[in-house]
């Protein structure tokens, strides 16, 4: 009976992963993974990632490497019994914070013990969001000690003989909350825990500190970090006004990293004068006239046929979702259900109107594809046209 339950569970995960993978890949216009060869494809691995976009973050990591991961996520989302069932089914584990109460924090010991068991098994990597909470700003925040605590607990449980690696993982979103944006995931150089063995035996707290600092240093190389924070908006605006777009996101990242460093250096001193570029919203270039003319009919077709679903999704988000960090996650999740339902009903209406199943099937296939192209056209053309007050809705 246990074997049957295990088989059903794995089949369920495979089916959910298949359809979720399709939706997530369609959610992003472009998706690139850098330094894939740095991942140890065997053995015990912890992915230590920055955290910007709620549930999209674990999904991006999940579909960017071959193995099935366990994730540590906020415990408060496990309060509902139905949510707990689905989250645990999808390999998510609760981590308790001080705000959840001291009694709840004590439950972390059992969770850490489970994480140790997972890592010793060497089959499933563990994903930890090292900053402890999410934030849309492009800046790596101080890391929590959770990664170090779990890593060293695992090494202790195996007499420091385990080849455990921590892989700093950088998530870089083009526009965090927007459908059909870009995604670049950077894997950093793996940090092997064996090198800290002697230091940990001499001074565990010092070993914690050094490991966290080493993870921060490598992770900071994999993300765009705008500093100092008090000049964040000015630096971001000046960077966006000066940057040039590149279709290769890895090259784009390297250029952006260098430009942000150059711009940030001007703001290190007190009383720095804010340049004009930092005071105005960036105005990106329009695509070619040929693209605008040739793709306009596709935009009209896609816009009309996705209007109902788009409105339903927007109303739901405005009424239900209060935290902007969850916008992208909710959009991708709802699209998984709403998209096939709306386009299926509309295709059925086409069949009732025409009486032709071939036309209805053609509509069902072409309308979601046209909707995706319509979003791309909208962001490439309409969102880049100057309006009465600046550039409406544009924020990279």
Record the tokens describing residue 89, joined without a space: 């089914």
Residue 138 CB neighbours (<10 A): 22
On whether the CB atoms of residues 48 and 321 are closer than 8 A, the answer is no
Q: How confident is the model at residue 272 (pLDDT cuts 50, 70, 90)?
A: low
Q: Which of 91-95, 179-183, 186-190, 372-376 has the highest mean pLDDT?
A: 186-190
CA distance 172 to 249: 10
Task: State the pLDDT at residue 104.
Answer: 64
| Residues in the chain, total | 396
Positions of CATH 3.40.1130.10 in the chain: 2-220
Task: State the pLDDT at residue 390.
Answer: 35
Task: State the pLDDT at residue 128.
Answer: 94
Fold classification of 2-220 (topology level):
Glycerol-3-phosphate (1)-acyltransferase (3.40.1130)
- Residue 163, sorted as left (phi over 0), alpha (psi -120 to 50) or beta, turns out to be beta
**Residue that the structure tokens 């140790």 belong to:** 116
Write the pLDDT tens digit of every residue in 118-128: 999 988 999 99
- Whether the per-residue pLDDT at 90 is higher than 80: the answer is no
Write the pLDDT tens digit of every residue in 341-366: 999 999 999 999 999 999 999 999 99
Q: How confident is the model at residue 393 (pLDDT cuts 50, 70, 90)?
A: very low
Q: How confident is the model at residue 395 (pLDDT cuts 50, 70, 90)?
A: very low
**Residue that the structure tokens 């098994």 belong to:** 121
- Whether the per-residue pLDDT at 152 is higher than 80: the answer is yes
On whether the CB atoms of residues 60 and 24 are closer than 8 A, the answer is yes
Q: What are phi and psi of 252, to 5 degrees?
A: -60, -45
Question: Nearest to residue 131, comparing CAs of 196, 214, 219, 236?
Answer: 219
CA distance 245 to 251: 10
Give the residue-averaged pLDDT of 259-279: 72
CA atoms within 13 A on the CB side of 372: 16
**Alpha helices (H) in the chain, listed in sequence order:** 2-27, 56-62, 81-89, 102-106, 108-121, 146-157, 197-202, 204-220, 232-242, 249-265, 289-294, 296-320, 327-354, 357-380
Contacts of 287 (CB under 8 A, 6+ apart): 380, 381
Contacts of 328 (CB under 8 A, 6+ apart): 27, 53, 54, 56, 173, 176, 177, 178
Q: How confident is the model at residue 301 (pLDDT cuts 50, 70, 90)?
A: very high
Q: Higher model confidence: residue 22 or residue 160?
A: 160
Write the pLDDT tens digit of every residue in 4-51: 777 777 788 888 788 888 888 888 888 999 999 999 988 899 999 999
- The structure's pTM equals 0.81
């Amino acid at each position: 009976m246990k074997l049957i339950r295990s088989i059903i569970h794995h089949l369920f995960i495979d089916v959910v992963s298949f359809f979720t993978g399709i939706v997530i890949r369609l959610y992003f216009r472009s998706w690139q993974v850098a330094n894939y060869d740095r991942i140890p494809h065997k053995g015990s691995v912890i992915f230590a990632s920055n955290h910007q976009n709620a549930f999209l973050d674990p999904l991006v990591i999940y579909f960017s490497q071959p193995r099935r991961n366990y994730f540590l996520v906020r415990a408060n989302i496990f309060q509902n019994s139905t949510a707990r069932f689905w989250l645990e089914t999808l390999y998510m584990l609760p981590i308790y914070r001080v705000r959840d109460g001291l009694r709840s924090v004590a439950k972390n010991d059992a969770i850490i013990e489970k994480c140790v068991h997972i890592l010793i098994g060497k089959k499933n990597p563990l994903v930890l969001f090292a900053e402890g909470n999410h934030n849309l700003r492009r800046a790596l925040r101080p890391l929590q000690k959770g990664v170090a605590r779990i890593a060293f607990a695992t090494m202790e449980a195996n007499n420091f003989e385990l080849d455990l690696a921590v892989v700093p993982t950088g998530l870089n979103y083009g526009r965090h909350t927007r459908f059909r944006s870009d995604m670049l995931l950077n894997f950093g150089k793996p940090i092997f825990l064996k090198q800290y063995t002697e230091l940990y035996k001499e001074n565990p707290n010092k070993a914690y500190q050094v490991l966290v600092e080493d993870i921060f240093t490598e992770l900071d190389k994999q993300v765009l970090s705008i500093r100092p924070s008090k000049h964040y908006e000015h630096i971001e605006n000046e960077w966006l006004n000066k940057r040039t777009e590149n279709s290769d996101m890895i090259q784009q990242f390297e250029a952006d990293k260098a430009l942000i460093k150059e711009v940030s250096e001007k703001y290190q001193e007190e009383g720095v004068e804010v340049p004009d570029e930092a005071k105005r919203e960036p105005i990106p270039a329009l695509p070619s006239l040929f693209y605008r003319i040739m793709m306009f009919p596709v935009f009209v077709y896609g816009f009309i046929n996705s209007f109902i679903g788009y409105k339903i999704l927007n109303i739901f988000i405005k009424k239900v979702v209060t935290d902007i960090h969850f916008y992208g996650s909710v959009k991708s999740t709802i699209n998984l259900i709403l998209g096939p339902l709306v386009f299926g009903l509309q295709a059925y209406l086409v069949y009732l109107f025409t009486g032709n199943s071939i036309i209805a099937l053609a509509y069902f296939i072409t309308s979601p594809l046209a909707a995706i192209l319509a979003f791309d056209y909208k962001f490439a053309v309409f969102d880049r046209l100057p309006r009465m007050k600046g550039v409406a809705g544009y924020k990279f």
